[in-house]
Chains A and B, each alone.
Chain A
Amino acid sequence: MREIKASQIVEVVKKLCIEANYNLPDDILKGLKIRKKEEKSPLGQKILEDIILNAEIAMQEKMAICQDTGMAVVFVDIGQEVRVVDGDLEEAINEGVRLGYKEGYLRKSVVKSPIERINTNDNTPAVIHYRVCRGDRLIITVMPKGAGSENMSALKMLKPSDGLEGVKRFVIETVEKSGPNACPPLIVGVGLGGDFEYAAYLAKKALLRKVGERHQDILIARLEEELLNEINSLGIGPMGLGGTTTALGVHIEVYPTHIASLPVAVNLGCHATRHATFVL
Protein backbone atom coordinates (compact mmCIF):
# COMPACT_ATOMS: atom_id res chain seq x y z
CA MET A 1 0.00 0.00 0.00
CA ARG A 2 1.21 3.48 -0.83
CA GLU A 3 0.74 5.87 2.04
CA ILE A 4 -0.41 9.46 1.50
CA LYS A 5 -0.55 11.84 4.43
CA ALA A 6 -3.77 13.74 5.11
CA SER A 7 -1.70 16.93 5.38
CA GLN A 8 -0.57 16.50 1.74
CA ILE A 9 -4.21 16.30 0.69
CA VAL A 10 -5.05 19.48 2.64
CA GLU A 11 -2.27 21.35 0.82
CA VAL A 12 -3.30 20.09 -2.63
CA VAL A 13 -7.00 20.91 -2.18
CA LYS A 14 -6.12 24.37 -0.87
CA LYS A 15 -3.97 25.14 -3.90
CA LEU A 16 -6.55 23.73 -6.33
CA CYS A 17 -9.33 25.92 -4.87
CA ILE A 18 -7.23 29.03 -5.43
CA GLU A 19 -5.85 28.00 -8.82
CA ALA A 20 -9.28 27.09 -10.19
CA ASN A 21 -10.81 30.38 -9.09
CA TYR A 22 -8.03 32.60 -10.49
CA ASN A 23 -7.25 30.88 -13.78
CA LEU A 24 -9.74 30.15 -16.51
CA PRO A 25 -8.84 26.85 -18.22
CA ASP A 26 -6.94 27.42 -21.52
CA ASP A 27 -9.45 25.49 -23.61
CA ILE A 28 -12.30 27.76 -22.48
CA LEU A 29 -10.27 30.92 -23.11
CA LYS A 30 -9.39 29.62 -26.56
CA GLY A 31 -13.04 28.76 -27.23
CA LEU A 32 -14.10 32.28 -26.24
CA LYS A 33 -11.52 33.85 -28.55
CA ILE A 34 -12.59 31.75 -31.52
CA ARG A 35 -16.26 32.50 -30.91
CA LYS A 36 -15.59 36.22 -30.57
CA LYS A 37 -14.39 36.31 -34.16
CA GLU A 38 -17.46 34.45 -35.36
CA GLU A 39 -20.07 36.26 -33.25
CA LYS A 40 -22.57 38.18 -35.39
CA SER A 41 -23.90 40.59 -32.76
CA PRO A 42 -21.73 43.70 -32.15
CA LEU A 43 -22.92 43.83 -28.51
CA GLY A 44 -22.23 40.10 -28.22
CA GLN A 45 -18.68 40.67 -29.48
CA LYS A 46 -18.18 43.45 -26.95
CA ILE A 47 -19.39 41.21 -24.12
CA LEU A 48 -17.09 38.37 -25.20
CA GLU A 49 -14.24 40.87 -25.30
CA ASP A 50 -15.03 41.91 -21.68
CA ILE A 51 -15.21 38.28 -20.58
CA ILE A 52 -11.79 37.56 -22.12
CA LEU A 53 -10.29 40.73 -20.63
CA ASN A 54 -11.76 39.81 -17.24
CA ALA A 55 -10.09 36.39 -17.32
CA GLU A 56 -6.77 38.05 -18.12
CA ILE A 57 -7.14 40.58 -15.28
CA ALA A 58 -8.06 37.81 -12.81
CA MET A 59 -4.99 35.79 -13.78
CA GLN A 60 -2.59 38.77 -13.57
CA GLU A 61 -4.01 40.30 -10.40
CA LYS A 62 -4.50 36.93 -8.72
CA MET A 63 -8.14 37.46 -7.99
CA ALA A 64 -11.32 35.48 -8.53
CA ILE A 65 -12.59 35.42 -12.13
CA CYS A 66 -16.11 35.69 -10.75
CA GLN A 67 -17.30 36.73 -7.28
CA ASP A 68 -19.40 33.57 -7.14
CA THR A 69 -16.52 31.31 -6.21
CA GLY A 70 -19.08 28.59 -5.83
CA MET A 71 -19.52 25.53 -3.73
CA ALA A 72 -16.37 23.46 -4.04
CA VAL A 73 -17.26 20.31 -5.98
CA VAL A 74 -14.41 17.84 -5.49
CA PHE A 75 -13.87 14.72 -7.60
CA VAL A 76 -11.56 12.20 -5.94
CA ASP A 77 -10.24 9.13 -7.77
CA ILE A 78 -8.63 6.90 -5.16
CA GLY A 79 -6.32 4.15 -6.33
CA GLN A 80 -7.16 0.94 -4.44
CA GLU A 81 -3.54 0.66 -3.37
CA VAL A 82 -3.60 4.01 -1.57
CA ARG A 83 -3.94 4.37 2.18
CA VAL A 84 -4.52 7.79 3.74
CA VAL A 85 -2.55 8.12 6.98
CA ASP A 86 -2.33 10.66 9.80
CA GLY A 87 -5.88 11.83 9.34
CA ASP A 88 -9.24 11.45 7.71
CA LEU A 89 -9.65 11.91 3.93
CA GLU A 90 -12.92 13.80 4.09
CA GLU A 91 -11.74 16.09 6.87
CA ALA A 92 -8.55 16.77 4.91
CA ILE A 93 -10.55 17.79 1.81
CA ASN A 94 -12.74 20.14 3.82
CA GLU A 95 -9.75 21.61 5.60
CA GLY A 96 -8.16 22.27 2.21
CA VAL A 97 -11.33 24.06 1.07
CA ARG A 98 -11.43 26.06 4.31
CA LEU A 99 -7.83 27.23 3.89
CA GLY A 100 -8.08 27.82 0.15
CA TYR A 101 -11.14 30.04 0.42
CA LYS A 102 -9.57 31.98 3.31
CA GLU A 103 -6.07 32.45 1.94
CA GLY A 104 -7.28 33.02 -1.62
CA TYR A 105 -9.73 35.77 -0.56
CA LEU A 106 -12.59 33.83 -2.11
CA ARG A 107 -16.24 34.37 -1.23
CA LYS A 108 -17.83 32.12 1.37
CA SER A 109 -21.03 31.05 -0.32
CA VAL A 110 -22.25 28.07 1.69
CA VAL A 111 -25.14 28.12 4.18
CA LYS A 112 -25.49 25.50 6.89
CA SER A 113 -29.13 24.67 6.31
CA PRO A 114 -31.20 25.20 3.16
CA ILE A 115 -34.02 26.60 5.30
CA GLU A 116 -32.31 28.60 8.06
CA ARG A 117 -29.57 29.83 5.72
CA ILE A 118 -26.78 30.69 8.16
CA ASN A 119 -23.39 31.05 6.41
CA THR A 120 -20.78 28.48 7.50
CA ASN A 121 -18.21 31.26 6.93
CA ASP A 122 -15.54 28.97 5.51
CA ASN A 123 -17.22 27.63 2.36
CA THR A 124 -17.36 24.10 3.74
CA PRO A 125 -18.58 21.48 3.39
CA ALA A 126 -17.50 20.57 -0.13
CA VAL A 127 -19.61 18.33 -2.36
CA ILE A 128 -17.39 15.29 -2.81
CA HIS A 129 -17.59 12.50 -5.39
CA TYR A 130 -15.34 9.52 -4.66
CA ARG A 131 -14.42 6.84 -7.16
CA VAL A 132 -12.23 3.87 -6.33
CA CYS A 133 -9.98 2.85 -9.20
CA ARG A 134 -6.85 0.83 -9.97
CA GLY A 135 -3.37 1.88 -9.00
CA ASP A 136 -1.67 3.82 -6.24
CA ARG A 137 -2.53 7.39 -7.16
CA LEU A 138 -4.92 9.92 -5.73
CA ILE A 139 -6.35 12.23 -8.40
CA ILE A 140 -8.10 15.32 -7.07
CA THR A 141 -10.14 17.77 -9.14
CA VAL A 142 -11.72 20.89 -7.66
CA MET A 143 -14.56 22.53 -9.56
CA PRO A 144 -15.91 25.70 -7.94
CA LYS A 145 -19.53 25.69 -9.15
CA GLY A 146 -21.48 28.94 -9.11
CA ALA A 147 -25.22 29.06 -8.47
CA GLY A 148 -26.23 31.13 -11.51
CA SER A 149 -25.72 28.22 -13.85
CA GLU A 150 -26.42 25.50 -11.27
CA ASN A 151 -29.89 26.95 -10.54
CA MET A 152 -30.89 26.67 -14.21
CA SER A 153 -29.87 23.00 -14.48
CA ALA A 154 -32.54 20.30 -14.77
CA LEU A 155 -33.20 16.57 -14.83
CA LYS A 156 -36.01 14.60 -16.39
CA MET A 157 -36.90 10.93 -16.33
CA LEU A 158 -38.03 10.48 -19.92
CA LYS A 159 -39.87 7.44 -21.26
CA PRO A 160 -37.90 5.14 -23.58
CA SER A 161 -40.51 5.95 -26.24
CA ASP A 162 -39.47 9.65 -26.06
CA GLY A 163 -36.24 8.49 -27.71
CA LEU A 164 -33.50 10.64 -29.16
CA GLU A 165 -35.97 13.34 -30.14
CA GLY A 166 -37.16 13.64 -26.52
CA VAL A 167 -33.59 13.94 -25.30
CA LYS A 168 -32.81 16.72 -27.78
CA ARG A 169 -36.00 18.57 -26.92
CA PHE A 170 -35.24 18.49 -23.20
CA VAL A 171 -31.66 19.73 -23.61
CA ILE A 172 -32.76 22.60 -25.88
CA GLU A 173 -35.68 23.51 -23.60
CA THR A 174 -33.40 23.65 -20.56
CA VAL A 175 -30.95 26.00 -22.31
CA GLU A 176 -33.79 28.11 -23.71
CA LYS A 177 -35.37 28.53 -20.26
CA SER A 178 -32.03 29.49 -18.72
CA GLY A 179 -31.80 32.50 -21.10
CA PRO A 180 -29.38 35.05 -19.65
CA ASN A 181 -29.38 33.66 -16.11
CA ALA A 182 -26.77 30.93 -16.46
CA CYS A 183 -24.16 33.39 -17.84
CA PRO A 184 -23.78 32.25 -21.44
CA PRO A 185 -21.77 31.31 -23.45
CA LEU A 186 -22.36 28.03 -21.69
CA ILE A 187 -20.81 24.65 -21.51
CA VAL A 188 -23.72 22.25 -21.54
CA GLY A 189 -23.08 19.06 -19.59
CA VAL A 190 -25.48 16.22 -20.37
CA GLY A 191 -25.79 12.93 -18.48
CA LEU A 192 -27.71 10.31 -20.40
CA GLY A 193 -28.74 7.00 -18.87
CA GLY A 194 -27.87 5.39 -15.55
CA ASP A 195 -30.50 6.25 -12.96
CA PHE A 196 -31.78 9.43 -11.30
CA GLU A 197 -28.63 10.53 -9.45
CA TYR A 198 -26.10 8.94 -11.79
CA ALA A 199 -27.39 10.95 -14.75
CA ALA A 200 -26.86 14.14 -12.72
CA TYR A 201 -23.36 13.04 -11.72
CA LEU A 202 -22.47 12.34 -15.36
CA ALA A 203 -23.80 15.73 -16.43
CA LYS A 204 -21.56 17.44 -13.92
CA LYS A 205 -18.57 15.33 -14.81
CA ALA A 206 -19.11 16.15 -18.49
CA LEU A 207 -18.29 19.79 -17.69
CA LEU A 208 -14.70 18.75 -16.96
CA ARG A 209 -14.08 17.71 -20.55
CA LYS A 210 -12.01 20.15 -22.60
CA VAL A 211 -13.94 22.49 -24.88
CA GLY A 212 -13.36 21.36 -28.45
CA GLU A 213 -13.06 17.66 -27.56
CA ARG A 214 -15.79 15.33 -28.70
CA HIS A 215 -17.13 12.07 -27.22
CA GLN A 216 -15.27 8.99 -28.48
CA ASP A 217 -18.43 7.33 -29.73
CA ILE A 218 -19.12 8.79 -33.17
CA LEU A 219 -22.90 8.77 -32.69
CA ILE A 220 -22.68 10.70 -29.42
CA ALA A 221 -20.11 13.06 -30.94
CA ARG A 222 -22.52 13.77 -33.78
CA LEU A 223 -25.34 14.42 -31.30
CA GLU A 224 -23.11 16.88 -29.43
CA GLU A 225 -22.36 18.74 -32.64
CA GLU A 226 -26.00 18.83 -33.66
CA LEU A 227 -27.15 20.12 -30.26
CA LEU A 228 -24.40 22.76 -30.21
CA ASN A 229 -25.51 24.14 -33.58
CA GLU A 230 -29.12 24.13 -32.53
CA ILE A 231 -28.37 25.87 -29.20
CA ASN A 232 -26.38 28.53 -31.02
CA SER A 233 -29.38 29.23 -33.25
CA LEU A 234 -31.56 30.13 -30.24
CA GLY A 235 -30.38 33.76 -30.42
CA ILE A 236 -29.67 33.98 -26.67
CA GLY A 237 -26.04 35.01 -27.19
CA PRO A 238 -23.35 36.24 -24.77
CA MET A 239 -24.96 37.10 -21.39
CA GLY A 240 -28.34 36.60 -23.05
CA LEU A 241 -28.17 39.96 -24.85
CA GLY A 242 -28.50 38.37 -28.26
CA GLY A 243 -26.10 36.69 -30.63
CA THR A 244 -24.87 33.52 -32.20
CA THR A 245 -22.71 32.32 -29.28
CA THR A 246 -24.94 30.74 -26.66
CA ALA A 247 -22.71 27.73 -25.96
CA LEU A 248 -19.04 26.89 -26.42
CA GLY A 249 -19.65 23.18 -26.20
CA VAL A 250 -22.12 20.38 -25.52
CA HIS A 251 -20.56 17.46 -23.65
CA ILE A 252 -22.57 14.27 -23.29
CA GLU A 253 -21.66 11.33 -21.07
CA VAL A 254 -23.62 8.09 -21.34
CA TYR A 255 -24.21 5.01 -19.17
CA PRO A 256 -26.36 1.88 -19.49
CA THR A 257 -29.85 2.27 -18.07
CA HIS A 258 -32.93 0.29 -17.00
CA ILE A 259 -35.22 -1.20 -19.68
CA ALA A 260 -37.98 1.17 -18.52
CA SER A 261 -35.88 4.33 -18.10
CA LEU A 262 -34.38 7.18 -20.10
CA PRO A 263 -32.90 9.62 -17.57
CA VAL A 264 -31.46 12.85 -18.95
CA ALA A 265 -29.72 15.45 -16.82
CA VAL A 266 -28.53 18.85 -18.03
CA ASN A 267 -25.94 20.59 -15.88
CA LEU A 268 -25.21 24.06 -17.19
CA GLY A 269 -21.73 25.53 -16.84
CA CYS A 270 -21.26 29.30 -17.19
CA HIS A 271 -18.54 30.92 -19.32
CA ALA A 272 -16.29 30.59 -16.25
CA THR A 273 -16.60 26.81 -15.85
CA ARG A 274 -13.53 26.54 -13.63
CA HIS A 275 -11.65 23.46 -12.53
CA ALA A 276 -8.16 22.33 -11.62
CA THR A 277 -6.63 18.88 -11.12
CA PHE A 278 -3.61 17.46 -9.30
CA VAL A 279 -2.29 13.90 -9.16
CA LEU A 280 -0.79 12.79 -5.86
Chain B
Amino acid sequence: MYRKLNTPLLDEVTVQLKAGDLILLSGEIYTARDEAHKRMVEALDRGEMLPFEIKNSIIYYVGPCPPRPGQVVGSCGPTTSGRMDKYAPRLIELGLKGMIGKGARSEEVVESMKKHKAVYFTAVGGAGALLAQRVKKVEVVAYEDLGPEAIYKFTVENFPLIVTIDIYGNNLYEIEREKYKTHVKR
Protein backbone atom coordinates (compact mmCIF):
# COMPACT_ATOMS: atom_id res chain seq x y z
CA MET B 1 0.00 0.00 0.00
CA TYR B 2 2.94 2.31 0.71
CA ARG B 3 5.66 3.11 -1.78
CA LYS B 4 9.16 3.67 -0.40
CA LEU B 5 11.09 6.70 -1.62
CA ASN B 6 14.57 8.04 -0.92
CA THR B 7 16.18 11.45 -1.24
CA PRO B 8 17.49 13.06 -3.40
CA LEU B 9 14.26 13.10 -5.39
CA LEU B 10 14.96 12.57 -9.09
CA ASP B 11 12.85 13.35 -12.16
CA GLU B 12 12.71 9.62 -13.01
CA VAL B 13 10.81 9.19 -9.76
CA THR B 14 8.60 12.29 -9.74
CA VAL B 15 7.16 11.38 -13.16
CA GLN B 16 5.92 8.09 -11.69
CA LEU B 17 4.16 9.57 -8.68
CA LYS B 18 0.39 9.96 -8.83
CA ALA B 19 -1.93 11.99 -6.62
CA GLY B 20 -3.18 9.58 -3.95
CA ASP B 21 0.01 7.49 -3.67
CA LEU B 22 0.99 6.76 -0.07
CA ILE B 23 4.70 7.24 0.52
CA LEU B 24 7.26 6.32 3.15
CA LEU B 25 10.16 8.72 2.68
CA SER B 26 13.71 8.13 3.92
CA GLY B 27 16.70 10.42 3.64
CA GLU B 28 17.43 14.09 4.22
CA ILE B 29 14.89 16.89 3.99
CA TYR B 30 15.16 20.59 4.82
CA THR B 31 12.73 22.51 6.98
CA ALA B 32 11.67 26.05 6.12
CA ARG B 33 8.62 28.20 6.71
CA ASP B 34 7.63 31.86 6.31
CA GLU B 35 10.70 33.75 7.54
CA ALA B 36 13.25 31.27 6.17
CA HIS B 37 11.60 31.46 2.73
CA LYS B 38 11.66 35.24 2.87
CA ARG B 39 15.36 35.20 3.69
CA MET B 40 16.19 32.64 0.99
CA VAL B 41 14.46 34.68 -1.68
CA GLU B 42 16.14 37.87 -0.44
CA ALA B 43 19.51 36.06 -0.63
CA LEU B 44 18.77 35.07 -4.24
CA ASP B 45 17.83 38.68 -5.04
CA ARG B 46 21.23 39.76 -3.77
CA GLY B 47 22.88 37.13 -5.98
CA GLU B 48 23.91 34.97 -3.01
CA MET B 49 23.85 31.18 -2.66
CA LEU B 50 21.11 29.32 -0.83
CA PRO B 51 22.17 27.70 2.46
CA PHE B 52 21.72 24.16 1.07
CA GLU B 53 21.75 22.36 -2.30
CA ILE B 54 18.28 23.04 -3.63
CA LYS B 55 18.59 20.76 -6.69
CA ASN B 56 16.54 17.55 -6.22
CA SER B 57 15.83 18.49 -2.62
CA ILE B 58 12.65 18.38 -0.55
CA ILE B 59 11.49 21.20 1.73
CA TYR B 60 9.29 20.43 4.71
CA TYR B 61 7.08 23.32 5.86
CA VAL B 62 7.39 22.91 9.62
CA GLY B 63 8.33 24.74 12.79
CA PRO B 64 9.03 22.01 15.35
CA CYS B 65 8.65 22.06 19.12
CA PRO B 66 11.96 22.04 21.01
CA PRO B 67 13.22 18.56 22.00
CA ARG B 68 13.25 17.38 25.59
CA PRO B 69 16.74 16.25 26.69
CA GLY B 70 17.39 12.91 24.99
CA GLN B 71 14.78 13.53 22.30
CA VAL B 72 15.73 14.14 18.63
CA VAL B 73 12.96 16.64 17.99
CA GLY B 74 9.69 17.74 19.55
CA SER B 75 6.32 17.53 17.86
CA CYS B 76 6.78 18.35 14.16
CA GLY B 77 3.73 18.20 11.91
CA PRO B 78 3.26 20.25 8.73
CA THR B 79 2.17 23.88 8.64
CA THR B 80 -0.18 25.50 6.08
CA SER B 81 1.66 25.51 2.74
CA GLY B 82 -0.27 28.37 1.16
CA ARG B 83 1.79 30.91 3.09
CA MET B 84 4.85 29.80 1.12
CA ASP B 85 3.13 30.05 -2.29
CA LYS B 86 4.65 33.46 -2.93
CA TYR B 87 8.16 32.01 -2.70
CA ALA B 88 7.82 28.42 -3.93
CA PRO B 89 7.97 28.94 -7.74
CA ARG B 90 11.35 30.65 -7.41
CA LEU B 91 12.78 27.61 -5.60
CA ILE B 92 11.10 25.11 -7.92
CA GLU B 93 12.80 26.85 -10.88
CA LEU B 94 16.12 26.20 -9.17
CA GLY B 95 15.48 22.48 -8.87
CA LEU B 96 13.39 21.98 -5.70
CA LYS B 97 11.60 18.66 -6.38
CA GLY B 98 9.34 18.15 -3.43
CA MET B 99 7.40 20.15 -0.86
CA ILE B 100 5.77 18.72 2.25
CA GLY B 101 3.02 20.63 4.00
CA LYS B 102 -0.72 20.75 4.40
CA GLY B 103 -3.47 22.61 2.59
CA ALA B 104 -4.12 24.09 -0.82
CA ARG B 105 -1.53 25.56 -3.24
CA SER B 106 -1.94 28.45 -5.66
CA GLU B 107 -2.30 28.11 -9.40
CA GLU B 108 1.17 29.61 -9.90
CA VAL B 109 2.76 26.95 -7.72
CA VAL B 110 0.94 24.12 -9.52
CA GLU B 111 1.95 25.51 -12.93
CA SER B 112 5.56 25.72 -11.81
CA MET B 113 5.40 22.15 -10.45
CA LYS B 114 4.09 20.88 -13.80
CA LYS B 115 6.77 22.73 -15.72
CA HIS B 116 9.68 21.59 -13.55
CA LYS B 117 8.44 18.13 -12.45
CA ALA B 118 8.06 18.90 -8.75
CA VAL B 119 5.66 17.12 -6.40
CA TYR B 120 3.53 18.36 -3.49
CA PHE B 121 3.22 15.91 -0.61
CA THR B 122 1.09 16.35 2.48
CA ALA B 123 1.61 14.86 5.91
CA VAL B 124 -1.27 14.54 8.37
CA GLY B 125 -1.70 17.97 9.95
CA GLY B 126 -1.71 17.97 13.72
CA ALA B 127 0.00 14.56 13.90
CA GLY B 128 3.21 16.13 15.19
CA ALA B 129 3.97 13.55 17.88
CA LEU B 130 3.54 10.63 15.49
CA LEU B 131 5.72 12.26 12.81
CA ALA B 132 8.46 13.13 15.34
CA GLN B 133 9.04 9.41 15.85
CA ARG B 134 10.18 9.10 12.23
CA VAL B 135 12.83 11.84 12.51
CA LYS B 136 16.18 10.29 13.39
CA LYS B 137 18.56 13.24 13.32
CA VAL B 138 18.31 17.05 13.29
CA GLU B 139 21.01 19.58 12.36
CA VAL B 140 20.74 23.36 12.09
CA VAL B 141 21.58 24.55 8.59
CA ALA B 142 20.87 28.29 8.64
CA TYR B 143 19.10 31.22 10.33
CA GLU B 144 19.44 29.80 13.83
CA ASP B 145 18.22 33.10 15.26
CA LEU B 146 14.74 32.22 13.96
CA GLY B 147 14.36 29.41 16.51
CA PRO B 148 11.54 27.12 15.35
CA GLU B 149 11.59 28.93 12.00
CA ALA B 150 15.28 28.18 11.29
CA ILE B 151 16.33 25.84 8.48
CA TYR B 152 17.08 22.37 9.86
CA LYS B 153 18.22 19.25 8.07
CA PHE B 154 15.99 16.36 9.17
CA THR B 155 17.15 12.80 8.57
CA VAL B 156 13.92 10.84 8.29
CA GLU B 157 13.05 7.16 8.11
CA ASN B 158 9.78 5.95 6.62
CA PHE B 159 8.21 9.38 7.00
CA PRO B 160 4.53 8.89 5.99
CA LEU B 161 3.31 11.17 3.18
CA ILE B 162 0.49 11.44 0.68
CA VAL B 163 1.14 12.60 -2.89
CA THR B 164 -1.42 15.40 -3.03
CA ILE B 165 -0.57 17.28 -6.23
CA ASP B 166 1.46 15.38 -8.84
CA ILE B 167 3.53 16.75 -11.73
CA TYR B 168 0.56 16.38 -14.06
CA GLY B 169 -1.49 18.77 -11.94
CA ASN B 170 -3.80 16.11 -10.49
CA ASN B 171 -5.02 17.50 -7.17
CA LEU B 172 -6.12 14.96 -4.57
CA TYR B 173 -8.04 17.61 -2.60
CA GLU B 174 -10.28 18.26 -5.60
CA ILE B 175 -10.58 14.63 -6.72
CA GLU B 176 -11.51 13.20 -3.32
CA ARG B 177 -13.75 16.07 -2.24
CA GLU B 178 -15.95 15.64 -5.32
CA LYS B 179 -16.48 11.96 -4.44
CA TYR B 180 -18.03 12.69 -1.07
CA LYS B 181 -19.77 15.99 -1.76
CA THR B 182 -23.55 15.71 -1.48
CA HIS B 183 -24.11 19.33 -0.48
CA VAL B 184 -26.51 21.46 -2.46
CA LYS B 185 -25.42 25.09 -2.63
CA ARG B 186 -27.73 27.51 -0.84
A contact residues vs B (CB 8 Å cutoff)? 40-41, 43-44, 47, 50-51, 53-55, 57-58, 61-69, 105-109, 117, 119, 121, 147-148, 151, 165, 168-169, 172, 179-181, 183, 230, 233-237, 239-244, 270-272
Interface size on B, residues (CB 8 A): 49
Check B66 for interface membership: any CB of A closer than 8 A.
yes
Check B158 for interface membership: any CB of A closer than 8 A.
no
Which listed segment binds A: B7-15, B71-79, B87-95, B107-115? B71-79
| Chain B residue at minimum C-beta to C-beta distance from A61 | B129
B residues less than 8 Å from A40 (CB atoms): 180
A-B contact count (CB 8 A): 174
Check B62 for interface membership: any CB of A closer than 8 A.
yes
Are A69 and B103 touching (Cβ within 8 A)? no
B contact residues vs A (CB 8 Å cutoff)? 20, 35, 62-68, 71, 74-77, 79-80, 82, 102-104, 122, 124-130, 132-133, 146-149, 160, 162, 164, 172-173, 175-183, 186
B residues less than 8 Å from A236 (CB atoms): 177
Nearest 7 A-B pairs (CB), nearest first? A242-B176, A235-B181, A64-B75, A235-B180, A58-B129, A54-B127, A181-B103
Are B124 and A51 touching (Cβ within 8 A)? yes
Known: A41-B176, A241-B173. A51 touches B126 (CB 8 A): yes
Q: How far is the CB of B39 from chain A (nearest CB, A)?
A: 12
| Chain A residue at minimum C-beta to C-beta distance from B148 | A107
Main SS at interface, chain A? loop
Known: A67-B65, A105-B67. A54 touches B128 (CB 8 A): yes
Q: How far is the CB of A187 from chain B (nearest CB, A)?
A: 13
Query: In whole angstroms, how far apart are the Cα atoms of A159 and B66 in the complex?
Result: 47
Interface centre among A44, A108, A147, A183 (most CB of B within 10 A): A183
Are A67 and B62 touching (Cβ within 8 A)? yes
Query: In whole angstroms, how far apart are the Cα atoms of A179 and B66 in the complex?
Result: 29
